[in-house]
Structure 1
Amino acid sequence: MEIPKIKLLPNPETEEAKYAVGYKWNDIAGTRHFLGGKPDGLKEEEFPKCKDCGQEMTFYAQIDSIGDKYDLADCMVIHTFVCFDCFTVESQLNQTLA
């Protein structure tokens, strides 16, 4: 199953949060947040299998690094997968060039 891609846009609500978002030397990192669609940098055959039922999990969300202060290992993203049969969730930290 593939969920339609829904882009997420950061909306910092405090001055502290506004300063946390973004990178000094990178215009792409910090902007790659979305629900559904296809994860950047992963092929479907690389999707995890559910630990409970063994079925391939559905890609649910990609959350990018926030900014320089909260960088995830050189601008990595978190890919989250869900099994819609068991509601098991798994997340991975992956490097992507997109």
Structure 2
Amino acid sequence: MARLSREYQMLFSPGKPTSDELGERSKIGGMPDWIQDDDWPECPHCDEAMSFVGQLDSIEHESNTNPHSRPALSGD
């Protein structure tokens, strides 16, 4: 059986200024927090910019300081 990551549940609250804290950046609506330059994906059918719905932060990010860190998954 595959090793499962720790389960987290989100508690929704009104938005706050963008957080740089890893694991605290999940959100529904608003503007995306881009890591790279903003690069809106386009609809493959009408070529219009797609609407932002939400994003989930990578709580299990690989880091020496994260006690819940997991190695990045790879298809190799």
Q: What TM-score results when the alignment is normalised by the length of structure 1?
A: 0.39
Q: What TM-score results when the alignment is normalised by the length of structure 2?
A: 0.48
Bigger Cα Rg: 2
Q: Which one has a larger percent strand, Structure 1 or Structure 2?
A: 1
Q: Which one has a larger percent helix, Structure 1 or Structure 2?
A: 1
